[in-house]
Amino acid sequence: MNRAAWLAVLGAALVALPWVAGEFYVNLTSQILIATVFAASINLLLGYGGLPTLGHAAYVGVAAYVSALLYLKLGLAHWLSAPIALIGTTLMACAFGWIALRATGLGFLMLTLALSQVLWGTAYRWVSMTDGDNGLRGLTRPSPFGISLDGATAFYYFALAVTVASIWLMAKFVASPFGAALQGTRDQPRRMSALGHNVGLIRWLAFVYSGFWGAVAGLLFVYYHKYIHPISLSLTNSAEGLLAVIAGGPGTLAGPIVGATIVMLLKNYVSTYIERWNMLLGFVFVLIIVFMPAGLVPGVRRWWAVWRARRT
């Protein structure tokens, strides 16, 4: 089967899901979709830019907190708070990118971590604003075009539409000339610079774009849970996203989707049976890296190619 056929099957299965599955699975899939957008936004940096970020929860958390606070403190409607949250978070990515991109590799990773930890600490301590460890409750879901998203199915279709649009736009991005240049800066930054590419600006723009998609994931997250807690800004959350990308296959479009699915299944499904799901996640992750160092998607593709070559 070719790629279009696979996509058609996957699309049909996703659209049909609420008819065949119960509410639990519909909600679980909604969460997988949200995690997918988050992982895909990390993949833009890690997979296509070669920039490992350990602070991407910052964009999820800030977008979620801004949206929540605008509603709770100012009573703003969603059609107004959503763009403000997206623009505000993207502006923050502009500043964070400028700081973090003074380094690459490990230095970049540590700077992204440090910046996100500042926000995590703030969310914990600034109790008058964020209610600290209690989190912010009493939030609502938006009603686009008058359609309430309070039901599991309605929200699921909303999340699906946003996710498909996000992945499509990110796919367009990496296939564009700019995306090709970004991948060039990942592989040979010095050569790219000698060829006339402004490596610093390319990386910064990719960082900002990635931060924007992180913010989109953050809005979906806060709409889904109707609740936001500092843990969304935590290192754990950033690391989960990063793990999903590495496990699925950085630098591939399907990688973050597969990776996010595995992480969310373990986190939400297996955790009802096994208390120490984190240990299992670690174990699965080690297995993937040992047997498929490039991640599941490239790994399975290679095994598939080998298998087919043997048959003919």
Which residues contact another protein by CB under 8 A? Answer: 172-173, 175-181, 184, 187-188, 190-199, 205, 209
Task: Give me the least distance between CB of 6 and another protein, in Å please.
Answer: 19
Torsion angle (degrees, nearest 10) of CA 144, 148, 152, 156: -10
In whole angstroms, how far apart are CA 286 and each of 31, 101, 138, 292, 296? Answer: 24, 29, 39, 10, 12
Task: Give me the least distance between CB of 159 and another protein, in Å please.
Answer: 24
Among residues 195 and 279, whose Cβ is nearest to another protein? 195
User: What is the per-residue burial (b if ≥16 Cβ within 10 Å, else e) of 90-122?
Assistant: bebbeebbeebbeebeeebbebbbebbbebbee
Among residues 57 and 174, whose Cβ is nearest to another protein? 174
- Longest C-alpha distance within the chain, in Å? 68
Among residues 190 and 311, whose Cβ is nearest to another protein? 190
Question: Could you tell me which of 85, 49, 285, 297 has the C-alpha nearest to residue 189?
Answer: 49
Cα distance between residue 88 and residue 21, in whole Å: 37
Among residues 5 and 194, whose Cβ is nearest to another protein? 194
Task: Give me the least distance between CB of 308 and another protein, in Å please.
Answer: 19
Cα distance between residue 54 and residue 107, in whole Å: 11
Among residues 181 and 233, whose Cβ is nearest to another protein? 181
Task: Give me the least distance between CB of 233 and another protein, in Å please.
Answer: 28
Task: Give me the least distance between CB of 197 and another protein, in Å please.
Answer: 5
**Residue 154 burial (C-beta neighbours within 10 Å; 0-12, 13-18, 19+):** middle
Among residues 20 and 309, whose Cβ is nearest to another protein? 309
Strand partners, 136: 228
Task: Give me the least distance between CB of 202 and another protein, in Å please.
Answer: 9
